[in-house]
Structure 1
Amino acid sequence: MSTTGAHRAAPGREVRGWWWWERRRGAVLDVTLGLLSAAECAAEGPGFADAAGLPVPVGVLFGLVAGAVLVVRRRWPVLVVLVSVAITPAEMGYLMSFVGLYTLAACEVPRRIIGALAGMSFVAFFLVTFLRVRQDVASADLDPWPWYVPVMALLVSLGLNAPPLLSGLYIGARRRLLDSLRERADSLEQELSLLADRAEQRARMARQEERTRIAREMHDVVAHRVSLMVVHAAALQAVALKDPQKAARNAALVGDMGRQALTELREMLGVLRTAEPEPGAGPAGPGLRASAPAGGPPPGAGGAAAAGAPGAAGPGPVVAVAAGRAVTTPTPIDTAEDGPCLDELPDLVEQSRQAGMAVELRVSGAVRPYAPAVERTAYRVVQEALTNVHKHAAGAAVVVRLAHREAEVAMQVQNGPSDGAAADAGLPSGGNGLLGMRERVTGLGGVFVSGPTDEGGFRVSAVLPVGS
């Protein structure tokens, strides 16, 4: 038989056999109520036996058995109410009727069953009270008001049925509300835990992307100038004794490039230091909150956030708090204002010329300013392409093309075959230059193509959308 009671079993626990109590105090309470009900019915048993013409021990035994039914009120509240209704004509079981109605109204029983049983109990008490009051009035030879007997029967029936019924309905509704709130709290806790896990995953992804971006920035800043320094140092070694004046010029160029590289490194490291979160700064409220400057890339964004829009982020890190855990995503290491722009492209080409490279710059279209991310990316593409020529095609002629179009800006760096007579600078290569250029360009929604030419040289081409 399925369990139906005022108290539902806790989640994950089954009610087995006859032992349906979830707590020991519940069992103690029900057994105590059963003993009190049995004692009450046993005390009322002699009156029932005398009215029914039965031996007194039979009436007492009947009362004991009927009253003890209250012990199973949690398991079978319908049975308890039916028994109380059945013994109402015997004028016993008032405690069982009161507790049974309360338990029935508070448990998970359909409302139509509760209404039917409560109506049966009311009718039983009304009839018994009506007959008893009418007998008392007749035996006392009184002539009361005509409606006295039915009104008294109605008041007594309401007094015995309404309080336990209303109390049970209130407690049942309150218990269901608390269960609903508890389930919602558990669901919210699970959602917060999932959000915290996702925030941690996004933070890990953002940290990985930031490490990749830092490596790319360091490569762009250092590789080009160090490559030129190595080329000039080799030229300085070759002409030191033959042409002291040229050697002095090369030495001055090496010094200038070294100072420029150190300046850029200091700026980058300075941004890294100032990007740390301020002491005591953090979200002040529970739940899940994220603070990021307006226009900053969302955590876990793809290459567009890493390569094309670092300048849109502010100096502070993104902080998320979920389920009691704080997750901080890294902040972009530089800003658009500090990055190079296309106006500096002639200086970049001139530096390669001073290193002995035959490089030509061709610009077509109407020159106009672009977004900082677009200008920095275009500059870095040309810079890295020239660096690769210094590394892998010493002495080759280079043509740098920059085309300003209506909705895009295109750049191309093409070198011819390497001059076999040129000395190899012996520069190491990690193979990250082309990968970094591709990440930057595709991050802005552009197109990047690189590969050897039919003449034996190498070509790097990129097209960047500039928007409206």
Structure 2
Amino acid sequence: MTTTGAHQDAAGANARGWWWWGRRRSAVLDVGLALVSALECGLEGIRFADTAVLPVPVGVVFGLLAGVVLLVRRRWPFAVVLVAIAITPAEMGYLMGLVGLYTLAASETPRRIIGALTGMSLVGTLIVTYVRMRQNVVADSGLDAARWYVPVVAVLMSLGLTAPPVLFGLYVGARRRLMESLRERADSLEQELSLLADRAEQRAEWARTEERTRIAREMHDVVAHRVSLMVVHAAALQAVALKDPPKAVKNAALVGDMGRQALTELREMLGVLRAGEQVAARQASDAVSADAPAAVPLAAVGAAAAAAAAAAAEDGPGMGDIEVLVGESRDTGMVVELTVQGESRTYAPEVEQTAYRVVQEALTNVLKHAAGAKVMVRLAHREGEVAMQVENGPSDGGARDVGLPSGGNGLLGMRERVTALGGVFVSGETDAGGFRVSAVLPHRRAA
């Protein structure tokens, strides 16, 4: 039974009128002990009445009233011990004394109070035992045996009536507190496990959200750039189809190449996603077959998402493809100038792909919003980082608008990519009326 269940049982018992007893058997036990104690004290009250020269009924009633006090031992154990000490001179209440000391030692009463009452009971029992034994020994044998026999027997009897119940009560109380602490610790561990499961589910949901965002960025970058170039070439093809057939044929070939490249990149992306789903399914099945906690399959989703992202970064384009990217933009009629500073070197796959996507999306934005503008693409290889900048001048008013739609997520996607690697991203209009996109990526991904 848990601690909460015990409290509920106790509350229900109190509601039914069980007073301070938490369970019915506890009440039955205390009533039985009180009846036995009252019977004992009542019988001993007869001898007390003879000794004190009192009527026998008075001694019996006194013993019965004193013995019934044991009924409240769980609520007021110190009161039971005090009554037992008070009736010790009358040589009654032995059961009450034993049970009262045990209950007092096992209760939550402070140790100093337990020690004081135990000492009082020990001293009272010692004095009464010493006096009665001395009187009996002298009356029976006529010898003065108080030098060693009476004190030794009195000490042993007083210790025997006091020490065992106190020690046993201390043991039971310590064991009870230990069990309560273990139950509380088990409850706290159960709560912690529940919190950990909730956090694992939140992390899995976060991983799924991150993966969906990454897929959206990849789809946007691939589709937006390739399709934008295809639209531009299709518009040029339409304009020169009748006037310049050779140029129309060239533009048609470029449109076909762009479409094939877009389909290739989409197939690669879908292949990586399917591979990630297979990894997640395999890890989930392994966890279920091993009877692992429910949090493991959720964590497998995050691991599969990370694996898919890493695979996509390794298989995707890199900085070496930026020159080809610039050439494709030039084929559409854009004036693009590429400048590279520093010694080119190999970077981490995610850095390579992010740099490529930033330049790609910036060129796509120029194609959408600043048709005919001159574009400057700068790459700078520095110590520990790589910087890129795409800047365009004002749009040529005479250039034909290709009518490409804009979802408004290009700059947001670039910023997310760069900041995810611990880099810096800045974008904004220039004084000359153009637009500038700048990004700095560290050589390695920040922890």
TM-score interval (norm. to shorter): 0.7 to 0.9
| Overall identity of the aligned pairs, in % | 70
The one-letter code sitting in structure 1 at the alignment partner of 2:93 is G
Following superposition of structure 1 onto structure 2, how do residues 75-114 of structure 1 map, counting pairs within 5 Å?
A: 75-114=75-114
> How far did 1:164 drift?
0.9
Matched, 1:436 2:441: no
Q: Is the 8 A contact 1:192 1:288 kept in 2?
A: no
> Residues 35 and 153 (structure 1 numbering): CA distance in 2 closer, same or farther, change over 3 Å?
same
Farther off after superposition, 47-56 or 420-429: 420-429
The one-letter code sitting in structure 1 at the alignment partner of 2:309 is I
Task: State the match for 1:317 in structure 2.
Answer: 301
Farther off after superposition, 143-152 or 357-366: 143-152
Work out the CA distance in 1 between the residues paired with 2:198 and 2:305. Answer: 14
Farther off after superposition, 48-57 or 263-272: 263-272
Following superposition of structure 1 onto structure 2, how do residues 121-132 of structure 1 map, counting pairs within 5 Å?
A: 121-132=121-132
> How far did 1:13 drift?
6.5
CA RMSD after TM alignment:
3.3
Task: State the match for 2:35 in structure 1.
Answer: 35
> How far did 1:63 drift?
0.6
Work out the CA distance in 2 between the residues paired with 1:139 and 1:455. Answer: 128
Matched, 1:364 2:341: yes
Work out the CA distance in 2 between the residues paired with 1:170 and 1:138. Answer: 41
Task: State the match for 1:24 in structure 2.
Answer: 24
Structure 1 portions without partners, runs of 5+: 1-8, 293-298, 300-315, 320-327
Farther off after superposition, 250-259 or 77-86: 250-259
Query: What is the TM-score with the length of structure 1 in the denominator?
Result: 0.82
Matched, 1:333 2:309: yes
Tell me: higher relative CO, structure 1 or 2? Use CA pairs within 8 A at least 6 residues apart: 1
Matched, 1:396 2:401: no
Structure ranking higher in helix proportion: 2
Query: What is the TM-score with the length of structure 2 in the denominator?
Result: 0.85
The one-letter code sitting in structure 1 at the alignment partner of 2:320 is D
> How far did 1:382 drift?
0.9
Work out the CA distance in 2 between the residues paired with 1:173 and 1:211. Answer: 56
Q: Is the 8 A contact 2:204 2:302 kept in 1?
A: no
Task: State the match for 1:305 in structure 2.
Answer: none
Work out the CA distance in 2 between the residues paired with 1:110 and 1:450. Answer: 71
Which residue, out of 278, 286, 291, partners 1:281?
Answer: 286
| Secondary structure at the counterpart of residue 259 of structure 2 | helix
Farther off after superposition, 41-50 or 328-337: 328-337
Q: Is the 8 A contact 1:290 1:318 kept in 2?
A: no
> How far did 1:282 drift?
3.5
The one-letter code sitting in structure 2 at the alignment partner of 1:280 is S
Work out the CA distance in 1 between the residues paired with 2:126 and 2:71. Answer: 26
The one-letter code sitting in structure 2 at the alignment partner of 1:317 is V
Farther off after superposition, 40-49 or 178-187: 178-187
Q: Is the 8 A contact 2:329 2:363 kept in 1?
A: yes
**CA deviation vs aligned residue, 1:250-305 (integer Å, no higher than 9, x gap):** 2222222222212211222222222232242339798998899xxxxxx9xxxxxx
The one-letter code sitting in structure 1 at the alignment partner of 2:360 is Q
Which residue, out of 385, 389, 392, partners 1:412?
Answer: 389
> How far did 1:346 drift?
1.0
Q: Is the 8 A contact 1:317 1:331 kept in 2?
A: no
| Secondary structure at the counterpart of residue 213 of structure 2 | helix
Q: Is the 8 A contact 1:268 1:333 kept in 2?
A: no
Structure 2 portions without partners, runs of 5+: 1-5
Q: Is the 8 A contact 2:197 2:295 kept in 1?
A: no
Task: State the match for 1:322 in structure 2.
Answer: none
**CA deviation vs aligned residue, 1:51-100 (integer Å, no higher than 9, x gap):** 11111111111111110111111122111111111212222111111100
Farther off after superposition, 91-100 or 364-373: 364-373
